[in-house]
Amino acid sequence: AAPHAKSRCPQYPGSDIKRFPVPDDKVDWSQNWPEYDPVSYTAPSVLKMPAWADPDTDSFSPQFNTVDGAVDRTSFEGSYKVEKGKPLNPRGRTGLTGQGLLGRWGPNHAADPIVTRWKVDAKGAKIHHSDSKQPVLQFVSIKRKDCGEWAIPGGMVDPGEQVSLTLQREFSEEALNSLSATPSERAELYERITQLFKSPGFLVYKGYVDDPRNTDNAWMETVAVNFHDESGNSVSELPLQAGDDAGQVQWVDVDSAFPLYASHSHFLELVSKERKAHW
């Protein structure tokens, strides 16, 4: 696998902290590198110790590599190393130690719902791309408030939460603004999307995410699942409304040229291959 790149972005998100530059050939922990002098950083929002965050490791030694109470500290990447009480990023050096913006030491589990439909013309016929001659997929994309990048409307798996629920909940919160809906509106939204989300979907990806918030000791992992509205008459008809950490929401053509947050472009590539769509 290519060494993580966004996990080495020079400027750490939401801060003026600069990562220690890590060249490609020094990413792997097996490369001896005595000069490596990463910056230690844990964001103020994490130091405040909200419910979703772990305390500092000098007062806290959780059960790494296991399901620790309700918190899943296992990694899809296999067993990770713990050095001096701190887990080591399975993809190698990032130029920064500590939790950064992430709540958990070690893996931080998220879920990414990739909701797709075919792009159609006014008569409902599939539109084929002029270069690839393949039909074009569209997916529900949100513009993240934190960085302004377009992304899949994903989010963190709550302690003890089933991933299938996280997928539907995060989609509802970020793309349908369920958090601002009245209880009866929320019930209606639930009613209208639950059919699609009840289907198993297509498991696109399970594993490490190359997220700009990653550190040497804390990183994102996800389960990305594609829910495809083949006939275009379920989710496609829903009014999209951005909510929670989403600033905007819209159907976006699936295309390799469209830049997306973290590893999300890779996930969409896998979806387009599976659906034999343009990429």
Amino acid at 211: D
- Provide the 3-class DSSP secondary structure of residue 111: strand
State in angstroms the smallest separation of the CB of 146 from ligand RP5. Answer: 7
Single residue of 155, 205, 235, 249 touching ligand RP5 by CB under 6 A: 155
Q: How far is the CB of 215 from Mg ion (least distance, A)?
A: 19
Closer CB to Mg ion, 211 or 216, in the complex: 211
- Is 114 a binder of ligand RP5 (CB under 6 A)? no
Rounded least distance, CB 145 to Mg ion, Å: 9
Applying CB under 6 A, among 189, 209, 218, 271 the residue interacting with ligand RP5 is 209
Give the DSSP H or E segment for 223: strand 218-228
**The one segment of 32-40, 54-62, 168-176, 188-196 that binds Mg ion by CB under 5 A:** 168-176
Three-state SS at 270: helix
Choosing from 222, 226, 234, 272, the residue that interacts with ligand RP5 (CB under 6 A) is: 222
| Nearest residue to 20 (alpha-carbon basis) of 101, 122, 92, 124 | 92
Does 155 engage in binding with Mg ion (CB under 5 A)? yes
How far apart, in whole angstroms, are the C-alpha atoms of residue 17 and residue 50?
22
| Residue whose entry in the numeric block shows the structure tokens 């997916």 | 139
Interaction of residue 262 with ligand RP5, rule CB under 6 A: yes
Residue with tokens 């001096």: 84
Whether residue 126 contacts residue 119, with contact meaning beta carbons closer than 8 Å, is answered with yes
Which residues of the shown chain bind Mg ion in the complex (CB under 5 A)?
Answer: 155, 170, 244-245
